[in-house]
């Protein structure tokens, strides 16, 4: 699992991460599918899901737009699962690859997730990549 970004770009990455939250709060976050999709997901999460204090698993999100929506709506923690190694410096965002997930499961160290959210990922990669 990767939880902290350690490189010479820490400040740049911090500024970009902060900017994602600012854009969300201003209604300007475009995510991977445009501003309308972010607003629709936000509406759904806000009105039909109780994410407050929950640990969410996000499947297939290279850009952290789903993570931002969840955190801004009160999620306690978000774990992003993706085939690519993703580094996150945010204290409430962890990342893992399918291999990391499988190893944690086999070792009995996989955390329990309160909810799983994916937007247009599972159908693209199938269930057995």
Q: Is the pTM of this model over 0.75?
A: yes
Question: What's the rounded Cα separation, in Å, for the pair 12 and 105?
Answer: 34
Indicate left, alpha or beta for 50 from its phi (over 0: left) and psi (-120 to 50: alpha): beta
Q: Tell me, what's the pLDDT at 5?
A: 36
* Averaged pLDDT, 38-61: 95
Burial class (CB in 10 A: 0-12, 13-18, 19+), 37: middle
* Averaged pLDDT, 26-55: 93
Q: pLDDT tens for residues 53-74?
A: 999 999 988 789 999 999 999 9
Domains parsed from the chain with CATH numbers: 10-120 (3.40.50.150)
């Amino acid at each position: 699992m990767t939880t902290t970004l350690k490189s010479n770009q820490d400040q740049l990455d911090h500024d970009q991460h902060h900017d994602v939250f600012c854009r969300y709060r201003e209604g300007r976050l475009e995510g991977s599918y445009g501003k309308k999709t972010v607003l629709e997901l936000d509406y759904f999460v806000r009105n039909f899901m109780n994410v407050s204090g929950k640990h969410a698993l996000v499947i297939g999100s290279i850009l952290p737009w789903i993570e931002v929506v969840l955190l801004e709506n009160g999620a306690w923690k978000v774990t992003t699962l993706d085939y690519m190694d993703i580094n996150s410096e945010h204290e409430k965002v962890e990342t893992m690859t399918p291999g990391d997930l499988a190893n944690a499961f086999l070792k009995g160290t996989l955390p329990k997730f309160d909810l799983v959210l994916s937007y247009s990922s599972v159908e693209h990669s199938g269930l057995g990549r």
